[in-house]
Amino acid sequence: AVVRMAAFHDHCQLPTLGGRPPLGGHILSHDQVEAVLMRRAGYEVRVWPIEDESFEENPPSLPDFVKRELRWCQGNLQYFGLLGMRDIKPVSRMQLVLAILMYTGAPAWMLFILTGTAQVMLGHYNLLGSEYAAAGAYPAELGLGLFITIMTLSLSPKFMGVACVLFSARERQRYGGGLIVAINALLEFITSALMAPVVAFTEAIFIAGLPFGRQIKWDVQRRDGRAVSWYEAAHAYLPHTLFGVALTAVFWNYNSVFILWAAPLLAGFMLSIPLTVLTSSHWFGAFSVRTGLFAIPEDRDMPLILRQIACRGQSTPAVSGDLQSTLQPVTEAA
C-alpha cells in the first residue's frame, strides 16, 4: 500500500473492539479499516487497478490457501463491530458491509445446497408443502435467472481480464502468446471451480464455530513451496470428500439428473484430496515451469529489482538495523 505517512500516522489508529476474540479484541484485517479511517479524515482513498511490480506470492498449497482465507474470514467478520462507527462516510460503511458479505456468502451457499438436496429427497413435494408446489411457489424462471446472475458476476471479470490480454499484441507477447493465455485461462477456470466448494465448505464450518470461541492463529504466512502428503490432504479434506459422496448418493437415488447439474460442485468435494496433492507436488511445479503454465510476465522476464535480489542470494533487500526496528509489528495481530 502507498499512503501519506503523516495522515496515516495521525488518523489510522485502529480501535479495539468490544468483547472477547474471535470477534472482539484487536482488529485482524486492518487494511479496510485504515481506508475507512483515512476517508473519514477527509483524504481520498483509491485502489490502483494495475498489478505490475507487485511480487507477493500466493500460498503454495490448498491447505495454506484455505488457512489464509480463514484468517481473512475472521478478520472481516469483526467488521460487524465497526458498522456503528461515528462520522464515517456512507460509502465506507457500505465497503464494510461488502467485506462482511464476502464471507457470509459461504454458509449461505452451503444452506442452498442442503435445502436443494432436501428438495430432491422430497420428490414432487417441496419444503413448504404440496399445496405450494402445485401453486408454483418456486418458479424455474427465477432459479435460472439467479443462476445466470451469479455466473455473470463471477465470470465476467475473468473474461474481461483474458480479453484485455488477448486483444493487445504487447500483452499477448508478455504472457507467452495467445494460445498459452487461453490454456492458462481454461486451467484457472477449472481449478477455481474445483476449489470453490472446498473453500466455502471450510469457511461455513469455521463461521459456525465462531460463536463458540473458535478462531485461527494469526501466524506468518507460508510462502515457500512444499509438497502436501496424502495423509495431510486426507486429514484436511476427508469431511469434504464424504459430503460430496453423500450428495452424489442422494442425487443418484432420488433423481440422477441432478448429478449433471451439480457435477462441478460434486467434483470439487470428491477430488479435494487428490487435487491438493497434485497441485502441491514438486513434479507438477517443475512441469508448469517447463511448459509455461500459470506463468506471469515477471516469470518470463524478471524485473531488475528481482534480479538484484536474486544476485544477492536473499529473499528480501537488506535494510538497516534502525529501519528493521521501526518495521517491527506492535502486536501479533498487526
pLDDT of residue 140: 65
Query: What is the percent of the chain with per-residue pLDDT over 70, rounded to a whole number?
Result: 84
Q: Rounded to an integer, what distance in angstroms lies between the CA atom of residue 290 and that of residue 284?
A: 10
In a domain, 82, yes or no: yes
In a domain, 263, yes or no: yes
Rounded mean pLDDT of 274-300? 90
Q: Is the pTM of this model over 0.75?
A: yes
Pick 281 or 46 by higher pLDDT: 281
Rounded mean pLDDT of 140-168? 88
In a domain, 35, yes or no: yes
Reported confidence tier of residue 162, pLDDT bands at 50, 70, 90: very high
Residues 7-29 have pLDDT tens digits of 888 888 888 888 888 888 888 88
Mean per-residue pLDDT over the chain, rounded: 84
Q: Rounded to an integer, what distance in angstroms lies between the CA atom of residue 284 and that of residue 277?
A: 10
Q: What are the φ and ψ backbone dihedral angles of 45, each rounded to 5 degrees? A: -130, 125
Please answer whether residues 233 and 99 qualify as being in contact, where contact means their C-beta atoms are separated by less than 8 angstroms. Answer: no
Residues 200-243 have pLDDT tens digits of 999 999 999 998 888 877 666 777 778 999 999 999 999 999 99
Q: What is the DSSP letter of 1?
A: -
In a domain, 191, yes or no: yes
Expressed as residue numbers, the domain containing 68 is 5-327
Please answer whether residues 4 and 53 qualify as being in contact, where contact means their C-beta atoms are separated by less than 8 angstroms. Answer: no
In a domain, 333, yes or no: no
SS3 at position 177: coil
Reported confidence tier of residue 265, pLDDT bands at 50, 70, 90: very high
SS3 at position 56: coil
pLDDT of residue 305: 80
Q: How far is CA 108 from the centre of its chain?
A: 16
Reported confidence tier of residue 322, pLDDT bands at 50, 70, 90: very low
Residue 171, amino acid: E
Q: List, in order, residues 6 or more apart from 57 with CB less than 8 Å away.
A: 223
Measured between alpha carbons, how far apart are the two ends of the chain, in Å? 15
Please answer whether residues 40 and 88 qualify as being in contact, where contact means their C-beta atoms are separated by less than 8 angstroms. Answer: yes
Rounded mean pLDDT of 294-314? 80
Residue 306, amino acid: L
Reported confidence tier of residue 326, pLDDT bands at 50, 70, 90: very low
| Count of domains observed in the chain | 1
pLDDT of residue 56: 73
In a domain, 332, yes or no: no
